Amino acid sequence: MKTASALLSGFLLVLTSCSAQGQEADVIYHGGDVITIDDKHPTAEAVAVAGGRIVAVGEKSEVLKHKGNNTKLIDLSGKTLLPGFIDGHGHCFGTGLQAASANLLAPPDYTVTDIPGVVAELKKYAASETAKKYGIILGFGYDDAQLKEQRHPTRHELDTVSKDLPVYIIHQSSHLGAANTKALELAGITAATANPVGGVIRRESDGKTPDGVLEETIHYAALMKVMPRMGEAEFDGLAQAGMKLYAAHGYTMAQEGRAIAPVDQCWMRLAESKKMLIDVISYPDISSNEKPFGLDTPWYSKTMKNGYRIAGVKISLDGSPQGKTAFLSQPYLVPPHGLPASFVGYPAMPIADANRKVALCYEKGWQFICHCNGDAASDMMLGGIKEARTKFGVGPDRRDVMIHCQTVREDQLDQMQEFGVIPSLFGMHCYYWGDWHRDSVLGSERAERISPARSALRRGMIFSQHHDAPVALPSAIRILSSVVTRRTRSGDILGAGQCIPVDVALKSLTIWPAYQHYEENNRGSIEVGKLADFVVLDKNPHKVPILSLADLRVLETIKEGRTIYSAE
């Protein structure tokens, strides 16, 4: 893998200077701080835009040479202009589904702190037009780690919301869910239903009757069965809601990080009709289907068309550490109720299946992104790559990505560097679940190293940071604060040795995820020839105390020179 410094110093600009000579600008931004994320010219006084691309960056006097009779001058009034944030990993469509569900998030994102609070929010949602129209009570974002009871709601508690309509709530990790009796009935889950490969039906004290909590593959299967049938208009509405939420947090490019056919069909419709608010890059899932929809269409390309393209495929090898379904090499500190002290989680598929899927990606030349939360899952991915490289060779410019890497070990980072695997780190976990990881999931020693960005940086590796929305809100600001300070909800510092500087954190939100997506020549920094995709913050991240980074506000998001979100 190229080192971070070598990559950034070696970028080729679309144009060779900081100004496209003689071109009249549509817009010139000035009067504030400009953070370019360009190591050769890290700051600027002004930026000129024409035709949706950057035509000049630098001193105001030079940039103003592009002012014409129709040029609009925008005074930033002391605010800070950066490249638009780029999604290292997330699920844009799922973020729209979250927006259409009952909000069950804990503080500071919402107010739910106990199971009665979950029930109260669901009862409010039950009275909504959405619930009445679709005949389901759907909630998103509950977290047993943040509930006073420190457990999942049961089917009996969800039955108090409704016994006639299905009630289904999705855990904040998205890897688990809880269903009422009606939802279990619609999903066909009974005491006689066996656990599927890669999934668990949690049981009541008799060891047979489902208690309502479903893990991993059975959770996904049940959710698909209880969800109402939606038409194209409903699908498109969810996708558009997801894009709007991303834009409100400063993102100009989102990822659809585990797409299924109806979701990609939705994005294709929106792109064809030129209704994309931001750019979306998709990775169809091959965890259960090795002939995914979309890769035989023109949308599978390295070139965006109307704001959308399919870039490769997704493989998921395990679950969630906060849900205690991630596949670890060493046992959980506190195993889930009823499980032995030796419990290490479980893989989403047998090793032979994982090896076959990775080999397929090498054979077909597909880029793949691979969900690995536990280090045992990371071993599976790296073992599959080693085997595939032996059989098919390396191939040109492979940029495969390990998603999450939360418990990745130092020896695994060495192997990732050797294989050219890009880490996409979930550093936001330090804030949201750091205390839980320390006290219940991993113990202090392992928790100190979750999402080890500094370890990757010491090796000169490029990495991205992500939010995995809708697991968390698509907030680049929360990521920035989390990876620089590694503060938990309680204020503890979880692994000070893994903190990274502000400038590195900003690269992991802009130019490095651009590289991850083969987009580094088109976006990720403010350079001549690149897309005029910007975010405006109220303050300069380099000029505020690091403990105030979480208070930064996105004031405006600009896509190709056009405002697509304004806080006003």
User: Is residue 243 predicted with pLDDT exceeding 70?
Assistant: yes
User: Is residue 7 predicted with pLDDT exceeding 50?
Assistant: no
pLDDT of residue 4: 46
Residue 280's DSSP bridge partners are 254, 308
Instruction: Give 58's DSSP letter.
Output: E
User: Is residue 178 predicted with pLDDT exceeding 90?
Assistant: yes
pLDDT of residue 13: 31
Comparing 153-162, 186-195, 225-234, the range with the smallest average pLDDT is: 225-234
Query: Span 18-33, mean pLDDT?
Result: 85
pLDDT of residue 19: 55
More confident site: 174 or 253: 253
User: Is residue 6 predicted with pLDDT exceeding 80?
Assistant: no
**Confidence band for 20, pLDDT divided at 50, 70 and 90:** low
pLDDT of residue 12: 32
User: Is residue 15 predicted with pLDDT exceeding 90?
Assistant: no
User: Is residue 71 predicted with pLDDT exceeding 50?
Assistant: yes
Tens of pLDDT, residues 31-53? 999 999 999 999 999 999 999 99
Helix, strand, coil content of the chain in percent (nearest 5): 35, 20, 45
pLDDT of residue 8: 38
Distance CA 499, CA 453 (A): 7
Of 559, 492, 28, 555, the C-alpha closest to 248 is 555
Amino acid letter, residue 44: A
Distance CA 14, CA 483 (A): 31
| Mean pLDDT estimate for the chain | 94
Query: Span 280-305, mean pLDDT?
Result: 95
Tens of pLDDT, residues 331-349? 999 999 889 999 999 999 9
**Confidence band for 174, pLDDT divided at 50, 70 and 90:** confident
Q: What percent of the chain has pLDDT over 70?
A: 96
Buried b (16+ CB within 10 A) or exposed e, 161-200: bbeebbbbbbbbbbbbbbbbbbbbebbebeeeeebeebbb
pLDDT of residue 369: 98
In the chain the domains, ranked by start, together with CATH numbers, are: 1-84+524-568 (2.30.40.10), 92-226 (3.10.310.70)
pLDDT of residue 395: 82
